Every structure is written in structure tokens, then in C-alpha cells.
Structure 1
Amino acid sequence: MTAERVALVTGGASGIGRAICARLREDGLQVAAVDLKPDAAAEVAMFARGCDVTDESDVDSAVAAVLDRFGAIDVLVNNAGITGSQAATTCHETPVEEWDRVHTVNVRGPFLASRAVLPSMVARGSGHVINIASIAGLVAFPGRCAYTASKGAALMLAKSIAVDYAAAGIRANAVCPGMVYTPMTSWRLDQPALRTQVEDRIPVGRVATPDEIADAVSVLASGRMSYVTGHALVIDGGMTAL
């Protein structure tokens, strides 16, 4: 056990999750990560465990292991997520199984992790749940029905937790990135014509880096903004201001 603050990050092996793990460690937190690729997560976290965030028993076991190792979880970052395949497009063209796959990871995952962690936070009278949502949870991404709906749900899950657990000393917020260059988006952003289309819609003229999203999580996780809960923190280079 440790007196230092502890963060648990889901999907910590790559992209935004990896950057969050590295940044929170720099901030002095003890960082645990769960991912389908635990060896990669172990490169940036103090403790890593393989976990399928869509599996209730897997999530419960992973959370129990983190609590056993560190004694507490002060910050839960629900980062694990997917965009869906190219089949996950407009509503009537999206196969039901693809809709379910996106929502199982992006909505069921944060629900299961939060459900597993919250009892220990309630018992201690403090804690912070941070969901990595998306600006797609605020404005619809054309041709990405399943993803847009799932990120809206992830955002509202954070708001629901904020409302239900405020009296217990627990906060919940969502970070809503715009376009970020990660292994998940590189297939698109590595194509010059497609990247230009994306960046032409962003006032600052470029996509974000994972480290810039990690900066936002760092600020929320620091505890300095103790009155902020139920908030959607948009990090999009001005994209949704247009």
C-alpha cells in the first residue's frame, strides 16, 4: 500500500492512454494500467494487467488486483475505446453486431470499470472518474453513427456519476478530444488528402497529439479544480467553435 495518489487507466498501452499513463507518472501518481496488451502498458505504468474492459469478471478481477497492490484508486481514467470498422457508418447501413461491438467497448467498458471502482471511492469519501469521450459526443460525426452515439453515452455517464456521487465526495468529468493522431487514426491521417480535409476544419490548423489530451487529464486529476464536476472539457483546436 502507498500514501501516494493512485490512478487506474484503461487502454493504457497505446495512443492517448499511453500518454496519460506517462503524464500522470510524471505528476507523481502511482499509475496502474489495464489493456489487452499488458506488456506494452507495463512500459509506462507501474502495474499493468491484461483486461478486456467489456468482461465484467475480468474488470472486477483487475480492479481488485490494483486495490490489493496499491490500497486505493484515487483517479479512474476510462480511456479504452474503439471507433468501429468502416462498416460502422450511417444508421441504416451499420450492422447490428458492429453497433454492439462499438457500444460494448465505449459504453459498457466505462460502466463496468466505474461500477467496480466506485465502492472503494465511496468508502474513502473521495475519488475522481474521468471518461475519455469525444467531441463526437457533442456534435455528430458524419457517417459514424455508432461511434457518435457511444461517445454521447460516455459523456452522459460521467455526468450521471457526477450527480449521483457528489455527496460522497466523488467527482466525474469527461475529456472530449477532437482529432488526435494515434495508431487508431493514423490510417486516415497518414493519407495527405484526408489529413488536409480534417485540418481544414480545425481553426488551429492541425490535429492534436496524445500528449495534449494527457495535459487535460493531468489538470483534472491534479485536484486543483476541485469544484469542477459533471463537465465536458473540450480539447479540439477550436473545431466545435466553427
Structure 2
Amino acid sequence: MKLDGRVVVITGAAGGIGTALARRFAAEGAAGIVLSDLDLDAVRALAADLAVDAVGVRTDVTVEDDVRALVETALERYGRVDVFCSNAGITSGAGIEGDDAVWQRSWEVNVRAHLYAARAVLPSMLERGEGYLLQTCSAAGLLTAVGDAPYSVTKHAAVGFAEWLSITYGNRGIRVSALCPQGVDTPMLRDGLDAGHVGAKVTAASGAVLSPDDVADAVVAGLAEERFLILPHAEVGTYLAHKTQDPDRWLAGMRRMAAGFTE
């Protein structure tokens, strides 16, 4: 899918990958962009700064009514949604000792938000016979997140849900992509490093840390080719192949890596 003339909704748009996507989509000639985040001032400022028609909306992606209202705003303003970027996400740095509230919050932001987006936007897309769901899932959803059990588990679930959506609706004009970057220079990664999270340290040391703009470039290319897996870090595909070819060897290698950061 080319983005010229398209209407796009982006969650988690106040910074990092979300902001980079908004700027790149505007440069590609999007007809309209709806930017959502908990930080209303930030998305309104971003909307005013883009060279296309855009609007900022405060949305809590863990509240289904908020997500439904977000889609309604887009439909009322532009008449359709061509691409819905379900981009909001959180890390925790927790293991099995993480309390239930940490696990629940991870499920709500990293998984249920994708569900709420699909419920809200798919009816109008299916009616038109066309639409695109871009879901930010992370390389952790294909591999793992050392030191962050809630993030690893929920990102695996996000990839699984994206697969299900593609299988279920792919023959009805709905395209689905799972965006799975590794290290990206975002507040999420920097905050994790500042907090001393093992997962953030491993991510930062495992390969190149890309800029959000690099990720946006990969997204535009992936959408144009309508690829299910969008991998800004090409090495993630290699790691995934190693994992599937010899899971035991891969797990042993991951244990050695983890030990280097925890011993």
C-alpha cells in the first residue's frame, strides 16, 4: 500500500516511533492523520507541525470506549481509515516476581489495545473491502526479551494476534503487518537503561540501535510491499531462523547472553 492520499490513525504518537511515523507518512502525502496519545498537548503540537491535515486526540488505548471514539473521530473527519497503526506499548523490566498489576498493565497496553483497535476499525474497512492494520509488536515478540517477562509474553501474544487477523481477514481486503524492531532510540529504551533493566541493556548491546526515523523508513517500505513481518533490523530475521531451526541451541545461546548481564 502506498501512503499517498491515505488516511492514517496512529496511537502512541507523542514520541519515538509514533512521531516518526507521523512525519514520514505526511512526507509521503497522506491525506489526513489522526494522532493519539495520553499526552494531548504533544499530539496537538505535532498535528500543527505536519504539512498535511492532522488532528491530535487524547486516547487511553486500554479503554475500549476511547479507542472506539478515536476511530469515530477519524471517520467523521475523513470518511474512512485506510491504515490504523496500533503503536502504543510499554516495558516493565519485571520477571515472575512482578506483581499482578504490572502483568495486567502489560496485557492491556501490549495486547488488548490491538484487540480494541481491530474491533473499532475493522467494520468500516470490511465494508469498503480494504484496510491496513500495522501493529508494533517488537522483535521480542519473535525472539524474547531477556529480563522482562511481561514484555516478552505480551509481545509474543501481539504477534500471534496479528497472524490471526491476517489469516482471518486477509482474503477480505485487509492487510496486516507486524512491526518488529529490536533496539530503537526511544524514551522507552532510554528509560529502561536509566532504570537498569537487564532487558534494555541486552537490547542496546545486541546490535545497532536505530533511530525512530530509520524504523519509519522500514515501515514505508514494508507497507509498499505489504509484508507481514517488517524487520527494521535485518539480523532479527537471521536470529528467528536460528531459533526455529534449532530451538535448544538458540536457548543455550540466549542463556549465555543473559548470564553476561546478570552475573
Distance (whole Å) between structure 1 residues aligned to residue 133 and residue 205 of structure 2:
33
Residue deviations 1:169-191 (CA, integer Å, cap 9, x gap): 11101010101111111134579
What letter matches 1:238 in structure 2?
A: E
Find the counterpart in structure 2 of residue 201 from structure 1. Answer: 206
What fraction of aligned residue pairs are identical, expressed as a percent?
A: 36
Find the counterpart in structure 2 of residue 26 from structure 1. Answer: 27
Distance (whole Å) between structure 1 residues aligned to residue 203 and residue 72 of structure 2:
41
Flag structure 1 segments of 5+ consecutive residues without an equivalent: none
Distance (whole Å) between structure 2 residues aligned to residue 24 and residue 35 of structure 1:
17
Find the counterpart in structure 1 of residue 109 from structure 2. Answer: 105
Distance (whole Å) between structure 1 residues aligned to residue 60 and residue 18 of structure 2:
15
Counterparts in 2 of 1:160-171, with a 5 A limit?
Answer: 160-171=164-175
Find the counterpart in structure 2 of residue 155 from structure 1. Answer: 159
Distance (whole Å) between structure 2 residues aligned to residue 81 and residue 200 of structure 1:
21
Counterparts in 2 of 1:215-226, with a 5 A limit?
Answer: 215-221=217-223, 224-226=224-226
What letter matches 1:133 in structure 2?
A: C
Return the TM-score normalized by structure 2: 0.80
What letter matches 2:220 in structure 1?
A: S
Report the secondary structure of 2:230's partner residue: strand
Find the counterpart in structure 2 of residue 233 from structure 1. Answer: 230
CA RMSD of aligned residues (A): 2.2
Counterparts in 2 of 1:166-205, with a 5 A limit?
Answer: 166-189=170-193, 198-202=203-207
Report the secondary structure of 2:62's partner residue: coil
What letter matches 1:90 in structure 2?
A: G
Return the TM-score normalized by structure 1: 0.86
Find the counterpart in structure 2 of residue 120 from structure 1. Answer: 124
Deviation at 1:216, TM superposition (A): 1.8
Residue deviations 1:15-34 (CA, integer Å, cap 9, x gap): 11111111111111121111
Which structure carries more helix by proportion? 2
Report the secondary structure of 1:33's partner residue: strand
Distance (whole Å) between structure 1 residues aligned to residue 123 and residue 201 of structure 2:
46
Distance 1:196 1:183, change over 3 A: closer
Distance 1:190 1:26, change over 3 A: farther
Distance (whole Å) between structure 1 residues aligned to residue 203 and residue 5 of structure 2:
41
Distance 1:10 1:197, change over 3 A: closer
Deviates more, 1:231-240 or 1:170-179: 231-240
Residue deviations 1:47-84 (CA, integer Å, cap 9, x gap): 11101001011111111011100111000111011112
Structure showing greater Rg: 2
What letter matches 1:218 in structure 2?
A: V
Distance (whole Å) between structure 2 residues aligned to residue 199 and residue 99 of structure 1:
23
1:78 aligns with 2:73: no
Retained in 2: the 8 A contact 1:181–1:189? no
Deviation at 1:131, TM superposition (A): 0.4
Flag structure 2 segments of 5+ consecutive residues without an equivalent: 48-53, 240-263
